[in-house]
Amino acid sequence: MSEILRAEEVHKKYFIGKRAVEVLHGVSLSVQRGETLSIMGASGSGKSTLLHILGGLDRPDAGDVFFEETSLVRMKPPKRAAFRAQRVGFVFQSYHLLPELDVLENVLLPSMATRRRNVRERAEHLLEQVGLSDRMDHRPTELSGGEQQRVAIARALMNSPDLIFADEPTGNLDSHTGENVLHNLFDLAQAENRTLILVTHNEEIAGHCQRELLLKDGKLEE
């Protein structure tokens, strides 16, 4: 196994007016390639903040995150944008699909930032994997929540990212639909040997991951 991602003493605080809210208080973490990892923690404990920092969407106040030994903090903005576009896939609780695009176009969107070929075949393959072959020309508003999230999963995998981050991906779904969506996510991640970091409130879901972590008082516990 080889390390793909490492966080070292990550700190993050927000200011609300003049009052500082310490969210992350020295988070360190080493993630191996191909690993599946869950992060649990109370609402407001900083899970989303941590995920955004690990995926290069946000920067820590102190500490650093290394992707294959390259510092995300010291990376210049264009390079960090390319890192996010090509190496990282995000699935959010609220899907974040573009309403004016159809399902196929939503999945194709990340490939616009690459020179990858055969993107249409890839998008169609992923939509088939999540059981939406017959919904490709639908708009997101014409789909159920579970279907929208499956589109978001296909989109997150479009560029074959090394890292997949899922932030409470089943938070808006009933438990049966959520299970199906998670099966899609785990199956796809595993089939392509991707690294999956999953934030969830659900202990059973967390139990499907190889490692379970708890974010508490600004720190991670194994």
Of the listed pieces 13-21, 81-89, 111-119, 178-186, which binds ligand ADP according to CB under 6 A?
Answer: 13-21
Which string of x and - marks every residue 48-67 that binds ligand ADP (by CB under 6 A)? xx------------------
Contact 151, 132 (CB under 8 A): yes
Identify whether the C-beta of residue 151 lies closer than 8 Å to the C-beta of residue 107.
yes
Residue 19 binds ligand ADP, judged by CB under 6 A: no
Q: Quick check: 91 binds ligand ADP (CB under 6 A)?
A: no
- Binding flag, residue 43, ligand ADP (CB under 6 A): yes
Q: Which of 20, 30, 44, 98 binds ligand ADP (CB under 6 A)?
A: 44
Dihedral angle over CA of 132, 133, 134, 137, nearest 10: 90
Residues near Mg ion, by CB under 5 A: 47-48
Give the other-Cβ count within 10 Å of 50's Cβ. 30
Q: What is the torsion angle, in degrees rounded to the nearest 10, for the CA atoms of residue 217, residue 93, residue 176 and residue 208?
A: -50
Q: What's the rounded Cα separation, in Å, for the pair 218 and 50?
A: 10
List 1, 16, 76, 117, residue binding ligand ADP (CB under 6 A): 16
Residues near ligand ADP, by CB under 6 A: 14, 16, 21, 23, 41, 43-49
